[in-house]
Each structure stands twice: as C-alpha cells, then as structure tokens.
Amino acid sequence: MSRRAGLAALLAVIGPGLLAGLSDDDPPGITTYSILGASHGYALLWVLAASTVALIVFHELGARMGIVTGQGLIGLIRERYGVRWTALALLALVGANLGTLCGQFAGIAAALGMAGVPRGIGVPLAALAVSVLVLRGSFNRVEHVLLLLSSVFVAYVIAAFLAHPDWGATARGLVVPTPPRSRDAALAVVATIGTTLAPWGLAFIQSYVVDKRLRPRDLRFERIDVILGAVLTGVIGLFVAVACAATLHVSHVTIHDARDAAQALEPLAGSAAATLFGVGLLGAGLLAASVLPLSTAYSVTDAAGSEAQLDDKVRDAPLFYGAFSVIVLVAVAVVCIPGAPLIPILFLSQALNAVLLIPLIIFMRNLARDRRVMGVYVLGRAGSLATLVTIVLIAASVALTLVLTIG
Amino acid sequence: MSTTGDAHPEVVRLTDLVGERLTDAAGAHAGRVVDVVAAVHGEHPLVTALMIRPRRRAVPVRADRTLVAGLGPGALRLTGPLPDGEGERDDEVLLRRDVLDVQVVDTASRRMARVGDVDLALTAEGLRVVAVDVGWRAILRRLGLRRLARRASRDAIDWETLHVAAGRAHALQLRSSSAAVRRLDPDELATLVARLPAASAGDVLHSVEPDRAAAALATLHPDLSADLLEALPPEHARRLAGAMGRRPAGAPAGGERPPRRYWRVLRGHGGRRR
C-alpha cells in the first residue's frame, strides 16, 4: 500500500477511537483530573499514565470485537452468556452511564451557574434541546459548535506551561507509582481510572466500529485511531492535572465549585479564566449529554435483541425511546435537586464508574479470549496478561478505597 | 424421544429442556441435558440427540434420540447406557450454543431479532424446530420473572422464514437446499444482506445464483453493494459486478443500507465514509 493510499485508508477508518478517547475530556473528566492535581499535586500522575495504557488496551479490544463479530458489547454478552449475565452487565453499564450523565448535567449546571442561570431552569432546557436535536437527527447542525466550545480545554496545555510547574516532580509523579495512603487519595485514584476508562466509552467504541462496518483489514488503522484518541485524552488530562498542581495545589486551594477549578486557567486567561472554563464545561457537557443517552438506549435494545434506531417511530421502538427518555429524566431530576452538590456528583460518579467497570471488562476479556467468538483474532497471551493485570489493579484500587473509607 | 398422553402436537421450549434431569433405566439420576442437537435439513430441523452431562462427569456426551424416552419435566429417561464422547455431526447444530440468544433475520417481516427461546414441536418423526421466540416473554421467563412474562406478548418467527446471522447455524442453513435464502426474491435478499455482518452477507451472496445476487446488490445503496462485493472472493465479485453492469441503470442512491446508529448524529466524524 502506498503512503498516500495508507493515509486515505487511515482517514476512512479514523473516528471511533478518537471520539471514544476524547469523550473522556468531558465535565466529569476535567473535574476529576483537576481534583487529582489540586488535592494531590504531582504524586498521583502515574494513575493517569496507567489509565491511558488501560484505555488503549480495552478500546483496542472493543474495536477488535466489534470488527470481528459485527456486534455491540451487550449483544455479544447475550449471545455468549445468555440473558441473566446480560442483565447483570446491562445493570452495570446503565448504572455507570446514569452516573456519568448526572456528571454531564452537573457540569452544564455549574457552567450555567457561573453565568447566573438557575440549574432548575437551565438543565431541563439543555436536556430538552440536546434530546430534540439528537432524536430529530439534526444534532450535526450544532455538533461542530459544541466541539469548538469543548476544545477550549486544550488551553490547559498552555496554562500549565505558564504556571511554571515543577517538571521534575511531574516526571517523577508520572513514572513512580506512589501508593495512595488516605481515603481521598484512593478515591482520586479510583475516579481517575473510572473517568479515563469509562464504561460507556467501551460500549460506544464497539458499537461505532460496527456502525462504520469496519472489517478485519481495517484493524491496523483502527489501532492507530485508538492510540491517537487515548494519548490525546491522556495528554490533555495530564496538563489539566499539572496546571492544577502548579496553581491550586501550591496555594492549598481545594475544589468546592467550578470557580475554584477555573483558577487553574488564570495563568493563561487571567480574569477570564472562569468564563473560559464555563464555556468548555458547557460545550463538552452538551456534547456528551447527547451521545451518552443514545449509546445507553442502543445497549438496552441490544440486550433485548431489537434493531431500533433513530429512524424508527416512537410506537415502533418504545424500548429505545423509553430508555433514552428515562435516563435523561432521572439524570436531570438528580442534578436539579435543590442544593445537590455539583462537584461531588461530577467526581463521585466517576468513582462509581470504576466499580461498575469491573464486571464489564471481565466480560470483555472472557469474550476476547474465546476462540469461538474471535476466531484468529482471539486475545493472545500478552493481551490476556495485560487485561488480567488491569482488572486486578482496578479491583485492588476499589477494594483499598472501600477499606480506607470503612476503616 | 416420545411424549406421553397428549394427542395434540406438543410444543416444548428449548430452555425448559436444557437443565432437565434424566433418569437411567433403573430410575436413578443419570445426568442433565446441557444442549439439544438438531440436523439442519428440510424446512424444520429434526432433533437428533441430546447432549447430556452425566452425573459426576465434566464432559457432556451425546445421547441419540433413540436412547431417550419421555418428554416434559421429570419424564426424561435413558433406555440404555450412554456412549462415550462424540458431539455434533457435520450437518447438526447445538440449539443452545448455536441458535439461542443469537441474532436472526426474519425474512418475512424484514427485521433483525435475537432468539429468546426455541420452540420444538413433536411430530411423527420426533421433535422438530418449528419457530423461535424473539419477544419479551421468553426473556422475562428466563430471568425468572414468570408473572411479568405471562403478561408479555409472544413474538415468534417461523423457522422457515428466518436466517441465523452468523456462526455454525448460518453456515449449515446456507448448505441446506430448503433454506429460507433460496426462496427469497432479490428485494428480500437485499433486505437480508443489508442487515447481516459483511462476512455473513458475503456467504449468502456466494450461495445463491449469481443473477439473483446481482439483482439484490443492484437494489442496495451503492456504497453498501460496493462493500459487500469487497467481502466476496475476487473472482465471484467480478462476475457479480459484471452481472450488475448488464442490468438497467437505476441503482438507487437512496437504496437499502444497513441500520446506522450513530451516522446521523455524528456524521461529522467519519460517518461520511459510507
């Protein structure tokens, strides 16, 4: 294949990995990485590096399973393990997605709050707007605007440099795995894992490669797509954490609300930092709040075996539209509870992600190691070991957090 | 296998049969049914054997239907000793492994669904696969929610009109002379291949007469037909492309294409490819 043909093939394939990876830079993700840097300085940056490696491993696995089987994750679990295990996997996925959607709406509420818009009005309106745009198939009209708004988080890269961080401590934090010794540190580790390797991203990437009808010959390029998406999200997450470590951590600021988190952008944006942060939260929150319910509804219909899609009428696909509506309504209701703390919703939902992630990645590993499912693309020894180590480390982090919380 | 009592054809659900205990000729517990073997011939596959996990043994063994008597809860019994080893034969599927929970395309109502249960009816020759249940009733019943299941609707697809989307049952259906795909007109064939994974769609196009396959491809969205041609062996693809070229122009740009879940929402992100 010539270099030009190779580039064309790569561009044709690119998308699922990039989108699934970058979707981690959403309001819950930015908040979690901010807390990681603000509360723990450079010490826990290795978690971000390890999570990015885990993201590459499991997103590659999801893409590979979608390409080889032509099925989404939940559908494949049903085919191989039957309805009872599917119900368990679906409960874990929907639970995690609901938490993350609450996080997206909490991010939107925080952004609107900085502009003086009450969440009781702003969040339902935002939810209604994205739902109508998605369900009517007109979302692409605003998609690029939202992408542009959420791209302001790239500003963290410049902000981090301008804050003159301790690069030596950054390098040490990235490669020396300092174990978490307090409950808060353990929780930050778990939330960082949960936001980077988000369950909905796993279901989304597998479903999206099926949607694009990618084939085994595309796998080589899809791997590049996955690595690109994961590294980009890891790099942005790193600079968010470093910017916060160099500003908030050194001045002992704890993040209680969005304005606290926004201070990390002050070296770049000065007094406009809060506005910049709010714009990013709003754009990224709206973007994720549109795709997440859609991905959830598809997973629910996959479990039941229907092929519902956006073109269907409501009466022909009640499960699809029902699942979409219920998850949006519940998430809006949770965030609109008067006085509901937005930062804990944004942060703790990601810790919940890590807990609910465990059964899903166990299913993924077992499916990928099954030669009847994967044929010659079965997960090899190195992949089996890498996924096992990831699962064990995540489970150990969750267990440590529980022990430190209870004790 | 035989049933007792009822004069009417009796329908047995696969999921009721799987897990059932068997007794030996002396009435002692001999093992449990782990799968049901059926030969994919004719319009309705005939159950030829049960896969039994004998008591205190890990590996299931095949018990030909002549070895099993009785049907229904607690009635299954072996009429002789179980042989060692032996699984399915070349023309057989294991219904639990290869059909249950697998995606199927209903060629009559042009939809894709997932098998919640398999209906087996007792005929003069023995048990035959007659239909699959793809509705909520089967799912709820298997989840143990029997009260809810009774209120849910049954949604059955006759075996004659369905095609299994992938795997061993898909391959054996294509080999069978009475398979649903052989009776489809080009339009129905197009509906089927648009829903199948590319590799399975390629198998289907490879198994029908070239003229019919070409006619089906010509009714698809051009992007999809190009995709499917790529999934075929090059020589066969060239022959089909030639046959398509001889057809009157009119491959519709808005022709059938596979369900697209994210394309409409995210078409700014690579969705334009197809």
| A148-204 pLDDT tens trace | 777 888 888 888 888 889 999 999 999 999 999 899 999 999 999 999 999 999 999
Using a CB–CB cutoff of 8 Å, tell me whether B116 touches chain A.
yes
The domain defined by B184-274 folds into: Annexin V; domain 1 (1.10.220)
Q: What's the CATH code, domain B11-91?
A: 2.30.30.240
Using a CB–CB cutoff of 8 Å, tell me whether B273 touches chain A.
yes
Question: β-strands B11-13, B68-69: how paired?
Answer: unpaired
Q: Is the pLDDT of residue B241 over 50?
A: yes
- State both tokens at A251: 């001045």
- Which residues of chain B neighbour A367 with C-beta distances below 8 Å? none
CATH 1.20.1740.10 holds for A3-406: yes
- Which residues of chain A neighbour B103 with C-beta distances below 8 Å? 71, 75, 79, 305
| Contact of A368 with A378, CB cutoff 8 Å | yes
How far does A149 lie from chain B, in Å, by closest CA?
16
Cα–Cα dist A228/A234, whole Å: 10
Across the interface, whether the CB atoms of A208 and B142 are under 8 A apart is answered no
- Which residues of chain B neighbour A208 with C-beta distances below 8 Å? 262, 266
Domain residue spans of chain A = 3-406
Q: Is the pLDDT of residue B194 over 60?
A: yes
Place of tokens 């109508």: A132
Across the interface, whether the CB atoms of A213 and B227 are under 8 A apart is answered yes
Across the interface, whether the CB atoms of A140 and B265 are under 8 A apart is answered yes
Specify the pLDDT at position A1.
61
Specify the pLDDT at position A114.
86
Question: β-strands B111-114, B117-123: how paired?
Answer: unpaired
Across the interface, whether the CB atoms of A144 and B268 are under 8 A apart is answered yes
Q: Is the pLDDT of residue B253 over 60?
A: no
Using a CB–CB cutoff of 8 Å, tell me whether B75 touches chain A.
no
Domain residue spans of chain B = 11-91, 184-274
Cα–Cα dist B188/B237, whole Å: 20
Specify the pLDDT at position B5.
38
Confidence grade of residue B273 (pLDDT, cut at 50, 70, 90): very low
| B98-156 pLDDT tens trace | 999 999 988 888 788 999 999 999 888 888 999 999 999 999 999 999 899 998 888 99
Give the bridge partners for A298, in sequence order. Answer: none
Q: Is the pLDDT of residue B183 over 90?
A: no
Confidence grade of residue B247 (pLDDT, cut at 50, 70, 90): low
Mutation for A interface: B230, B264, B272, most A CBs within 10 A: B264
Cα–Cα dist A51/A192, whole Å: 8
Low-confidence residues of chain A, pLDDT below 70?
1-2
Across the interface, whether the CB atoms of A79 and B114 are under 8 A apart is answered yes
Confidence grade of residue B254 (pLDDT, cut at 50, 70, 90): low
Highest mean pLDDT among A85-89, B190-194, B254-258: A85-89
Give the bridge partners for B217, in sequence order. Answer: none
Q: Output the pTM of the full model.
A: 0.89
Using a CB–CB cutoff of 8 Å, tell me whether B68 touches chain A.
no
- Give contacts of B 186-225 with A, CB under 8 A: 195-200
| Contact of A133 with B258, CB cutoff 8 Å | no
